[in-house]
Amino acid sequence: MSYLFPPTIPAVAIKNRAEQFPVHRIYCVGRNYAAHAREMGVNPDREPPFFFAKPATAIVANHARIPYPSRTRNFHHEIELVVAIGKGGRDIPVAQALDHVFGYAVGNDFTRRDLQTDAKDHGRPWDTSKGFDHAAAITAITPAAQSGHLRSGRIWLKVNGQMRQQADLSELIWTVPEIVAELSTFFELQPGDLIYTGTPAGVAALKQGDRIEGSIDGLDELVTTIE
């Protein structure tokens, strides 16, 4: 096999391992914390969470400097638990879903909020608001064999030392096993898939020079700077 252009495989570091985690697809859950659904103007009792996707090439490693994106004046942070899939499958039962999880990471689902609002208003897709370059920051993946499966624990994000988002994983509307099971009824999951599981309330605008720190109990701290 030869290629016209050399293919690049986006990859994420794995804690205490020499191998990298090759990223197949990036799936995201929208409005998976009730307080965040409300701040987006939606009643979480009437509208359940849903899925969207980002290209695998949107991945940004921990400690990166991220360029403030073009075509936005309202660039937002969204701290999230990320699930790394190690075993594929479709129509996975909830009771077996955790067998498909390789590990966990801390991610930031960066968003051009103004373009997303405009897309919602006009019934248009979210690619330009969610799927742009550098839109998926992520720490190294901690294998579940080291961390155990995460059901609760503090999730938080600070900008320039000021707390902006703070919640607990136990507040997820769809739990990790429910997300994996539900997603696998739409797509055949593959090893290398990442799932951003949704952000808590407190999303807000970033500006050039901002230092963003965030973490989840038991996982690495994600640090990025906007330039």
Binding mask 140-179 for Mn ion (x = CB under 5 A): ----------------------------------------
Say if CB 107 and CB 80 are below 8 A apart: yes
Is 224 a binding residue for Mn ion by CB under 5 A? The answer is: no
Is 215 a binding residue for Mn ion by CB under 5 A? The answer is: no
Is 79 a binding residue for Mn ion by CB under 5 A? The answer is: no
Minimum Å distance from CB 78 to Mn ion?
A: 4
Distance CA 44, CA 28 (A): 17
Residue nearest to Mn ion (CB): 109
Per DSSP, the residues of 53-109 read EE-GGGEEETT-EEPPPTT-S-EE--EEEEEEE-S-BSS--GGGGGGGEEEEEEEEE
Q: Which is nearer to Mn ion, 78 or 220 (CB)?
A: 78
Is 109 a binding residue for Mn ion by CB under 5 A? The answer is: yes
Minimum Å distance from CB 199 to Mn ion?
A: 4
Is 220 a binding residue for Mn ion by CB under 5 A? The answer is: no
Tokens 């499958």 correspond to 89
Say if CB 164 and CB 77 are below 8 A apart: yes
Minimum Å distance from CB 174 to Mn ion?
A: 13
Is 78 a binding residue for Mn ion by CB under 5 A? The answer is: yes
Of 40-48, 76-84, 167-175, 181-189, the segment contacting Mn ion by CB under 5 A is 76-84
Provide the β-strand partners of residue 76.
111, 205
Is 197 a binding residue for Mn ion by CB under 5 A? The answer is: no
Q: Which of 116, 129, 142, 199 binds Mn ion (CB under 5 A)?
A: 199
Q: Which is nearer to Mn ion, 99 or 213 (CB)?
A: 213
Give the CA radius of gyration of the chain: 17
Residue 33 has, within 13 A of its CA and on its CB side, a CA count of: 23
Tokens 């949107």 correspond to 58
Minimum Å distance from CB 76 to Mn ion?
A: 9
Of 50-58, 106-114, 154-162, 171-179, the segment contacting Mn ion by CB under 5 A is 106-114
Q: Are strands 211-216 and 59-61 parallel, antiparallel or unpaired?
A: unpaired
Q: Which is nearer to Mn ion, 89 or 159 (CB)?
A: 159
Distance CA 100, CA 191 (A): 8
Q: Which is nearer to Mn ion, 38 or 87 (CB)?
A: 38
Work out whether the CA dihedral 142, 84, 59, 217 comes out positive or negative: negative
Binding site for Mn ion (CB under 5 A): 78, 109, 199
